[in-house]
Homo-oligomer: A and B are copies of this chain.
């Protein structure tokens, strides 16, 4: 990685830090010279930059005092030292959602570091390895340098009915293909990686439960994003090329967007000191469960994005002169109700955190899944209501070029007038923002990513099924119904109700 001034402080410094890297990024079949200057990529970089600026502007919200370095560090690099710390992740996420209207791409890294904290600790405990110490060294360094950590998890998977070693092509899951005394060489590909090109480091992790024969796939390690052997193929987003058009209206949100790419590893190298799992296959599922537990509740960010969309819908209703019509108001109430339901379930999950052996705090599993499951549903409903309020013009609006044209511009200014005092340009801008968030670039983040990120709906249902403690509930019912049975219900291992009835969730 190219050396730049460290620690990075502001969004601007962050953007500068991305220049001149050795990245191999393809977009529309061509190698991108400098991602920072590419009009399609730049909005996603701006979104990450906002995470730096917020840490300056609202220090207590977006940074934290780290007991690892003793310094105040960006909260995305912080290891949660209390339930309150976990809650504050959510609050920061909502704020950034509000400020960018999109995915700011840093939660995977945050959630990966936190879940590795406890998992490496317990791996060492069992195997006498040194992963936890290595991880702490790494965290110390990144907290100090204030860099961006991406996490690469989802393998391309090939035939989904088959495991890693059963695939025709062993590269369908990332794995170790070689090793020497300095480290390991990995090959494979990770699909739809969020913000990887905008990161400085990438943590690779397995994404499925592994068995003994999958040992080579049980690799967790950290690698600079521009290491030799890594290729990025940029994903297309709905309406992505509008970012290459002149003007800034038709983009809707011209400044911010998300980013997803496919990352291909071809014998990429991870040095020993950056390896945090190497063959301990039985810990893969622990790591994944803890990561997804954090990550499913990280989707509280979407409530911040939801705030923007509710605001946009309220604005267009206002422009059209109908903000107090009862069915409009009722829809805004429903949008708010749904949005806050997501927020409430997320906050409750963070609040019901508990301390792990390693000292990090882990949020509640059941409520994290419930939160994410609501996220797979409610943004679609909120988006639908926004389209309802916006009216059909949202999808039939002429282009900005028309608005600027001497022939058609005056026609639009005449005929797109709304209630008195409303500027037609502003009306068009708000409509484009709603289009952007429900069909365009940021619909990718607000809708489809809400569906599939951190696990598709079915993944949450499977996890809820595992921990819903039916035995405990059946006993409640049988007691009230006066059912007496010889073989009494056994309580399952799940401990959700222990957390529910815990007397002080801020205590260990």
What are 8 A-B contacts defined by CB distance under 8 Å?
A88-B503, A160-B320, A235-B397, A235-B398, A311-B477, A315-B477, A351-B351, A392-B449
Q: What does the 1/0 interface line of A345-374 toward B look like (CB < 8 Å)?
A: 111110110000000000000110011011
Tell me the residues in window 221-252 of chain A with beta carbons closer than 8 Å to chain B beta carbons: 231, 233-239, 241-242, 248, 250, 252
A35 touches B (CB below 8 Å): no
A314 and B473 contact, CB distance less than 8 A: yes
In the complex, chain B residues whose CB is within 8 Å of the CB of A272: none
A5 touches B (CB below 8 Å): no
A392 and B28 contact, CB distance less than 8 A: no
In the complex, chain B residues whose CB is within 8 Å of the CB of A172: 415, 417
B474 and A318 contact, CB distance less than 8 A: yes
Asked whether A161 and B384 contact (CB < 8 A) given A396-B261, A477-B311, the answer is: no
- With A231-B408, A341-B370 already in contact, 15 other A-B pairs whose C-beta atoms are closer than 8 Å: A84-B506, A87-B351, A161-B322, A161-B419, A168-B420, A239-B239, A314-B473, A314-B477, A315-B474, A327-B461, A329-B465, A387-B447, A426-B481, A426-B484, A429-B482
Q: How far is the CA of A344 from the CA of B237 in the complex (A)?
A: 34
A388 touches B (CB below 8 Å): yes
B456 and A395 contact, CB distance less than 8 A: no
Asked whether A233 and B477 contact (CB < 8 A) given A351-B347, A451-B384, A461-B330, the answer is: no
B308 and A480 contact, CB distance less than 8 A: yes
B235 and A159 contact, CB distance less than 8 A: no
A264 and B411 contact, CB distance less than 8 A: yes
4 shortest interchain CB distances as A-B pairs: A311-B473, A29-B401, A344-B345, A192-B396
A430 touches B (CB below 8 Å): yes
Closest-CB distance, A501 to chain B (whole angstroms) = 6
A253 and B158 contact, CB distance less than 8 A: no
Q: How far is the CA of A29 from the CA of B373 in the complex (A)?
A: 44
Asked whether A311 and B392 contact (CB < 8 A) given A345-B345, A348-B348, the answer is: no
Q: Give the most central of A264, A405, A448, A465: most B CB within 10 Å.
A: A448
Stretch at the interface among A14-22, A90-98, A281-289: A90-98
Contact of A337 among B307, B337, B426, B464 (CB under 8 A): B464
A177 touches B (CB below 8 Å): no
Q: How far is the CA of A337 from the CA of B458 in the complex (A)?
A: 12
Closest-CB distance, A161 to chain B (whole angstroms) = 5
A61 touches B (CB below 8 Å): yes
B344 and A370 contact, CB distance less than 8 A: yes
Tell me the residues in window 406-433 of chain A with beta carbons closer than 8 Å to chain B beta carbons: 407-408, 411-412, 414-420, 423, 426, 429-430, 432-433
Considering the complex, give the chain B residue whose CB is closest to the CB of A328: B458
A503 and B60 contact, CB distance less than 8 A: yes
Closest-CB distance, A447 to chain B (whole angstroms) = 7
Q: How far is the CA of A262 from the CA of B398 in the complex (A)?
A: 8
Stretch at the interface among A115-123, A143-151, A435-443: A435-443
Tell me the residues in window 442-484 of chain A with beta carbons closer than 8 Å to chain B beta carbons: 443-444, 447-449, 451-453, 456-458, 461, 464-465, 468, 470, 472-478, 480-484
